[in-house]
Structure 1
Amino acid sequence: MPDRTEVRLAEYGAELLGADQLTPRDVERLRALQARGCLTLDQAPAGWRLKADATVGILVLDRIRLVVEPKFAIPGERLMIWLAYALGTPTPLPATARRWATGPEGYADLVAAALLEQCERLVREGLRRDHVRRQSLEPVLRGRLDIAAQVSRRYGRLDQLHVRTFDREADVWDNRVLGTALRAARTLTTQPDLARDLHTIADAFPQAPTPAAALRALDRTRYTRLNVRYRAAHTWARLLLRGGGVTDLLTDDGMTADGLLLAMPALWEAVVRRLTTEAAAPHGGHAVPSSGATGITVRGDLGNTSAFRPDVLLSLPGRDSAARTLLPVDAKYKRYDRYGVGAGDIHQLLTYGAGYTPSTDPRAVIVHPSPGGHSRRVLQVSGVRGLLGSIHVLGVDTHASPQQAAAWVRSALPWADR
């Protein structure tokens, strides 16, 4: 593989690239990512201007290795902790979690190291084995004789026997997807020690025919007591094989590139869903779907019916009766710790409040990242006829641990003042 120039920029940062640094294939790949809102590529007088959006990670192109570091809301040394929290997987070892901030390897190496850690644990515990049906040519009878094959291929000769066996082996899909992901991780990492460890552990796992076959197997996987210990390893494997984050950024759209990218708004939405759901549980609340019977729909306009759907809709016990109330929560990956809430978001949250909460007290919640510490403020929106609604704006300190943040959210959500 030819040496590539490393280009590093911060989230929402920009960089000027020379005309000879991008091949036509690179431009095509970057245009495909631009169409998905991951970055912006503009022609400049001397080459190209590349601007990162809220997508971080690593992208290996023909002549450059692009690393976009998370700088806005979640500091680099905390990224893997919050990602593991959002995905519901064990947090990687602390030494692993620091590599993003201290080394040039980037996000791809962090996920590869997390996969390595889980696969090493599975090997120590013993890989799952299951009965696998095989057809083979043996000198002695094992299993069941395949009479049709013996007659048609050996013409009655008995020096070699066509047999069907049904033995317990590790060559099952739970292990194949991990073997495929370990081999894919080796192509992304630049750290020699990590690459060597990935190569060593990969020899213990069978491999799927193609990465696409491994992904299809992951999509079909259902966890039982027999394979539930594989769930965390499969989560990191899926992240590597798809090349994307919690929304599978590069899923089989024909335009893929070697790399690993994470959409930070999608990560924040996943974080907020878990934070608020865990916060509601001690109050007797739980999350409910925001579509179907509980959806806010717009009909009668040109085109298809549209809908307003908050990121989280909590169902809470009522104050004085058995009836339950709804509380809409929206995740905003914005600097609302520094700037006022935008008019578009105010309109959106007022619609949620009017559609889900009692008319006597319409309310909704915004949860945004706040690296400088937890914050809380309440916006009162009034008109000529009085109060239109209140919007609770909660800033979650991303320097804190997810467990500390969850405890603070539990005390800061509106039900705490009932």
Structure 2
Amino acid sequence: MPDRPEIRLGEYESARLGLEQLTPRDVDRLHALQARGCLTLYPERTGWRFKADATVGVLGLDRIRLVIEPKFAIPGTQLMSWLAYALGAPIPSTARRWTTSPDGYADLVAAALLEQCEKLVREGLRRDYVRRQNLEPVLRGRLDVAAQATRRYGQLDQLHVRTFDRETDIWDNRVLATALKVALALTTSSELARALHGIAGALPHPATPDVALRALDRTRYTRLNARYRPAHTWARLLLRGGGVTDLLTDRGTAAGGLLLAMPALWEAVVRRLATETVAPHGGHAVPSSGRTGITVRGDVGNTSTFRPDVLLSCPGRDTAQRTLLPVDAKYKRYDRHGVSAADIHQLLTYSAGYTPGDAPSAVIIHPQPGGHAHRTLDVGSPRGRLGSIYVLGIDTHALPEQATEWIRSALLQ
């Protein structure tokens, strides 16, 4: 397990690093993360200034470990609950305080994977038919005549056979073994490391992370392997360095780091919240691209588009015709300051493009620790009303499932 000095800070906070604390390899790696918008690193006269953006997690460098704690919107007590909600995974028993382990987020995700792997081992790992080509003393399976003639020259003391047996050495299990190996490199808890090592012994040999990720991307879930979905979800999170498909735009970092982009997490949360809010009333989410997209043509360069984070299709009150409602996730403290002019312009474009002309409207959903809140922005002009923007603040101290009912009641009002 790594034994390096630890530097802890919160998202949007900064820390000074000495010249001796960063190797040239570390500087290159941090600059690569800076290009992805995860952090900022700039030189000072006597060292470096490291500033975390809207990113939390752990980053293991050559000489130090950087731990970035959630401070802005989602408290450490609830981060795993909101993350599990965004991923559609069951809330792990590790959904506890960030500070209960020295490594915080990395240990919690590793423990969530461990919990799912232990459950699969107790229930019995899935087996499937695997084709093998072996050298056996007796005939078993099908004789490989060509190999027997060219390699054994007619001798029958050893037989080249092809077998097709049910084994646990399949990709559903191998990707979990690979993720457990990555988790072992991240955790600093000796107890957790022993448990990870123990459960890894019940799984087949791991593959490389790149090969395992490609296998996960090819995985299709049926009734035979549906119970593997939660374990694969946490495995994918570890193998991508903190990101999952449709959650992060980047691919994370190499082994040794586990970073989570909080704006992307909040967008995933809002997509599920909005969809579950309108589902009981016959509503559902629809794509905001293609024929339903807002496009800009004729400018220099490629065609640009306006895409809300969620576009809801809701039944009309008085007619059979359905109406559209654009919803945008904003990872901003709109409980402390007003909505920016850029966001107002963006939401007015959505309302003009999707909602009825007599009642243009759009919704902003932002995190608000400590309680729910909502307000309505009425945008007018000398020629009349331009639209309404509903600003909803979601209490991130509560469980995410409790927010859907509040959103539903707020929108009905």
TM norm structure 2: 0.98
Equivalenced residues, count = 411
For residue 265 of structure 2, what is the aligned residue in structure 1? 267
Helix, strand or coil at the partner of 2:78: helix
**1:60 alignment partner AA:** G
Sequence identity (%): 75
Q: Is the 8 A contact 1:329 1:366 kept in 2?
A: yes
Shift, 1:82, TM fit: 0.3
- Taking the aligned partners of 1:249 and 1:353, their CA distance within structure 2 comes to 26
**1:295 alignment partner AA:** G
Shift, 1:250, TM fit: 5.2
Shift, 1:208, TM fit: 3.8
For residue 147 of structure 2, what is the aligned residue in structure 1? 149
Residue by residue, what CA displacement relative to the aligned partner does 1:30-55 show, whole Å, maximum 9, x if unpaired? 00000010000010111000000001
Shift, 1:372, TM fit: 1.9
For residue 80 of structure 1, what is the aligned residue in structure 2? 80
For residue 308 of structure 2, what is the aligned residue in structure 1? 310
For residue 49 of structure 1, what is the aligned residue in structure 2? 49
5 Å-filtered alignment, 1:2-401, equals 3-93=3-93, 96-246=94-244, 247-248=247-248, 251=251, 256=254, 258-401=256-399
Q: Is the 8 A contact 2:173 2:203 kept in 1?
A: yes
Residue by residue, what CA displacement relative to the aligned partner does 1:163-200 show, whole Å, maximum 9, x if unpaired? 11111100000000001101110000000100000000
Is 1:410 the counterpart of 2:371? The answer is no
Q: Is the 8 A contact 1:29 1:257 kept in 2?
A: no
Q: Is the 8 A contact 2:248 2:265 kept in 1?
A: no
- Taking the aligned partners of 2:315 and 2:380, their CA distance within structure 1 comes to 27
- Taking the aligned partners of 1:25 and 1:114, their CA distance within structure 2 comes to 31
- Taking the aligned partners of 1:130 and 1:283, their CA distance within structure 2 comes to 42
- Taking the aligned partners of 1:15 and 1:105, their CA distance within structure 2 comes to 18
Stretches of structure 1 that go unaligned for 5 or more consecutive residues are none
Stretches of structure 2 that go unaligned for 5 or more consecutive residues are none
Shift, 1:2, TM fit: 6.4
Task: Let me know the Cα RMSD of the aligned residues.
Answer: 1.2
Shift, 1:412, TM fit: 1.3
Q: Is the 8 A contact 1:243 1:250 kept in 2?
A: no
- Taking the aligned partners of 1:354 and 1:98, their CA distance within structure 2 comes to 43
Helix, strand or coil at the partner of 1:236: helix
Helix, strand or coil at the partner of 1:164: strand
Shift, 1:346, TM fit: 0.5
